[in-house]
Amino acid sequence: MHEPAWFRWARVIGLTLLGLFALAPVYVMLTSSLKPLPDVEGAFRWFPSHITVSPFVDMWSTIPLGRYLVNSIIVSTTASVASVVIALLAAYAVSRYRFRGRQVFSITVLSTQMFPGILFLLPLFVIFVNLSQVSGINLYGSRTGLIITYMTFTLPFAIWMLAAYLDTIPRDLDDAAKVDGSGPMGAFIRVVIPAAVPGIVAVLIYAFMTSWSEMLFASVLTNDSTRTLAVGAVLTPQESRSRDCRRLDGLWRFRFDPGGEGITERWWRGPLRGGREMAVPASYNDLVTDAAEREHVGDVWYQRDVWVPAAWAGQRIVLRCGAATHNAAVWAGEVQVAQHAGGYTPFEAEVTEHVCCGEPLRVTVRVGNELTMETIPPGVASRSASGRKKQRYFHDFFNYAGLHRSVWLYATPRSYVADISVGTAFDPGTGTGQVSYRIEAAGAGATSVRLRDAKGTVVAQGTGAGGDLTVPAALPWSPDDPHLYRLDVAHGDDQYQLPVGIRTVAVEGARLLLNGKPVMLRGFGMHEDTALRGKGHDDARMVRDFALLDWIGANSFRTSHYPYAEEVLDYADRHGLLVIDEAPAVGLHLSLGDMGDHGARTFGPGAIGTAAAAAHLAALGELIARDRNHPSVIAWSIANEPDTAEPAARDYFAPLVSAARELDATRPVCFANVATAPPGADVVTDLFDLICVNRYYGWYAESGDLSTAERELEAELRAWARRGQPILVTEFGADALPGLHSVPPVMWSEEYQAALIEMSVRVFRRIPEIIGEHVWSFADFSTAQAVHRPGGNHKGVFTRDRQPKAVAWLLRDLWRNDNQ
């Protein structure tokens, strides 16, 4: 038959497109990079910046990207085989038992399938994505999405194709197969399946391609920051009889990536070009001299070589990153081993298969600092008229970025202790302590624990993965005597030693009890912030900060506004500080003050929506998983100053509070309330155990008028007190430029700062429900450049280089007297 020319062309174009489509997975495999689409602002998003693939995460969580291909083949094959089996049975029924709607079925299938993909798939995709945004249910790029697409596309088409195929097999053959007594199923197996093999193969290929394209869509459109390929890291690396560590601090090769070329050009495949070096751990921002580099928005790359000790042969080798702010991907040699979102919690990946003991290993880390409406903390990046990428955010401290904490390479035996969680109880009446423990271990071997006192004497022991240890005449942990036991955990040949403080924390009425006794918290909201190093962890700064806390008589601090380095909590355990441990959820208030937009709504689609909520939940989960064994941590703070006057805040926070309680039922849960959500306006405080309030009467409110400020502060605190819950004032204070003096006290002078703090404390002492005062802030710190921030935020009681302002002496007198 004569084929018209247009038909030949259509066939060539069709086949070429099909070929390209089939090659798409190869493209992904070759580049091994999952690029996000750009953000498009607005409530209705034609293309979201990513599709959250959290339901896939469990499938992928343990599989490094290098094995993406194998993984997708396994998932796609399983899905296609399943759909072919279902389709074959349905097609047999359609073909052999004619039914009335057969033609309607054919027409429906053909009309949905034969539409050019772009016309049909794209609108469907946009609809799915928007429905997901609104409903919070992940319809695309999830298992649900996969099933829906199967139902709408693959299955009907496969049934239709196979039914047409089976129609060509004479029915007499079925009857012949039934002569010896077998039923329709027998005929199906003996005749239909063997005769339909070519059709089955064709449908299998079709189903496989469809399912793979599903996976591909989900992956290619996934912002890398939403997936955590590495297993979250919990146990801090340590040396023991069975473990060895290398801390990769020092100078790394370093390169800015303003054009976002690192991924496409695969910078991990060779030494980073450009000859720059960067200190680790440190923020890079204040170590450079170029303004655009200090304010860079996007990726930077770090790289170094490390010798993997020959003695580690046969061990399990792990690469761990203490904190990469705000998102990162890690390569061991050529293989991507980890990807992580969240700037203040550790992550790690086993790299045993990707290293050679006795040989050097090239470690490359891509660190991204961009904040979006789907990250925690949130932000918005845009381009200025000059073409520069700019980052806006809704919190006060400078958006420092880089490798902020140590990167480690460490080795454990193949069977190892993977995680430990302890809970403690103390009975002040009998003096008996309880330590309950749960061990997660991998590989063969027996698990056992021994609890030793400070002298090393075993006071209790147990076997197995979980249990309770009783310690008669226990020495409880407290700020006055931060007594620590040591839990020696063994699994197989592996050993891990965990410091344990036996203590209880409880909220009873309007009191906070530690070991059954009321405590008053005195201290600060702090920041990890110093000149040059920015947010990089620094033991020297830590030692000085704790020395000053001791000097001034503080017993407590809040890790405002993110989880601090693990070293800080270890130090707090040893030195008896009471810590409110905060998730990095700051700036969830899009209409606040100078940083926000007047009248902007915070929670909901187009603003802080389901993706941000998922990121928040993940950050909270990682915080609790990392810090739940620290006796110093007495409460979880879920967020700082969210807009809790907005009704939608309740639905946003309720699941987070439940998650925190589920993850750790032993500590109170709180958040720091903002001035725009006083009693009456706030819609969430009843969900929490403590009332924490940040109040700036005399500074942002009633500026310069301390007598009115005193009345208003007292009136508001008394209104909170009527709820009968304990109140912690998590922030109060005033900026003071070091060296600016004035009589009478006026704003910005050291005297005014002292007068405001003295007035506030006077009010607190009149209200019995107040269980603590945290001055904002411990030390001056760096902020984004802004007209109201002369060289940063100066609410520090200490200067940025940790010397006292006038108010420090006042607090010292006050708090040291309290302590006596």
Enumerate binding residues for ligand GCB (CB under 6 A).
396, 561, 640-641, 694, 731, 776, 793, 795
| Residue 570 one-letter amino acid | D
The Cα–Cα gap between 69 and 194 comes to 31
Q: Which two tokens stand for residue 611?
A: 């993706």
Of residues 350 and 528, the one with the C-beta less far from ligand GCB: 528
Q: How far is the CB of 778 from ligand GCB (least distance, A)?
A: 11
Identify which of 470, 438, 487, 497 has the alpha carbon closest to the alpha carbon of residue 663. 438
Q: What's the min distance (Å) between Cβ of 594 and ligand GCB?
A: 9
Give 752 or 776: the residue with its C-beta nearer to ligand GCB: 776
* 327-332 vs 335-341, strand pairing mode: antiparallel
Indicate if 641 belongs to the active site.
yes
Smallest distance, ligand GCB to C-beta of residue 811, A: 17
Residue with smaller CB distance to ligand GCB, 410 or 562? 562
| Cα dist from 716 to 76, 141, 252, 558, 721, whole Å | 60, 48, 51, 22, 9
- Strands 324-325 vs 402-403: parallel, antiparallel or unpaired: antiparallel
| C-beta of residue 232 within 8 angstroms of C-beta of residue 347 | yes
Determine the Cα–Cα distance for residues 794 and 84; give it in Å rounded to an integer.
Answer: 68
CA distance 645 to 320: 40
Instruction: Single out the catalytic residue among 566, 641, 716, 769.
Output: 641
**Cα 120 versus chain centre, distance:** 35
Task: Give the phi and the psi of residue 303 in degrees, each rounded to 5.
Answer: -155, 145
Question: What is the Rg, in whole angstroms, of the alpha carbon atoms belonging to the chain?
Answer: 31
Give the nearer residue to ligand GCB in terms of CB position, either 504 or 793: 793
Residue 284 Cβ, how far from ligand GCB at the closest point, in Å? 23
Residue 592 beta carbon to ligand GCB: minimum distance, rounded to whole angstroms: 8
Q: Which residue is nearest to ligand GCB (CB)?
A: 396
Q: How far is the CB of 561 from ligand GCB (least distance, A)?
A: 6
Compare residues 396 and 716 and give the one whose CB is closer to ligand GCB.
396
Contact 176, 101 (CB under 8 A): no
Query: Shortest distance, CB of residue 794 to ligand GCB, whole angstroms?
Result: 9
Cα 806-807-810 angle, rounded to 5 deg: 110
The rounded distance, in Å, linking the Cα atoms of 728 and 670 is 10
Tell me the two tokens of residue 160.
């239709």
Single-letter residue type at 653: F
Q: What is the 3-state secondary structure (H, E, C) of 643-679?
A: CCCCCCHHHHHHHHHHHHHHHCCCCCEEEEECCCCCC
- Cβ 432 to ligand GCB shortest distance, Å: 41
Instruction: Specify the residue, 404 or 561, whose C-beta has the smaller distance to ligand GCB.
Output: 561
In the sheet where 299-307 sits, what is the strand order?
A: 276-280, 250-257, 299-307, 360-368, 327-332, 335-341
Cβ count near 355 (within 10 Å): 20
Q: Measured from the CB of residue 608, what is the shortest distance to ligand GCB in angstroms?
A: 17
Longest dimension (CA), the chain: 112
SS3 content of the chain, % helix, strand, coil (to 5): 35, 25, 40
- Catalytic position from the list 528, 731, 750, 773: 731
The reply to whether 731 belongs to the active site is yes
* Nearest-approach distance from CB 642 to ligand GCB, in angstroms: 11
Helix (H, G, I), strand (E, B) or coil at 550: helix
Nearer to ligand GCB among residue 216 and residue 811 (C-beta):
811
Pairing mode of beta strands 511-514, 517-518: antiparallel
Q: Give the residue with the Cβ less far from ligand GCB, 214 or 641.
A: 641
Angle between helices 806-819 and 539-552 (to 10 degrees): 60
DSSP H or E segment with residue 450: strand 447-452
Between 250 and 790, name the residue whose CB sits nearer to ligand GCB: 790
How many angstroms separate the CA atoms of 411 and 407, rounded?
A: 14
Q: Which is nearer to ligand GCB, 494 or 731 (CB)?
A: 731
- CA 722 to chain CA centroid, Å, is 36
Scanning the structure block, which residue is given the tokens 């006192």?
A: 453
Which residues form the catalytic set?
Answer: 641, 731
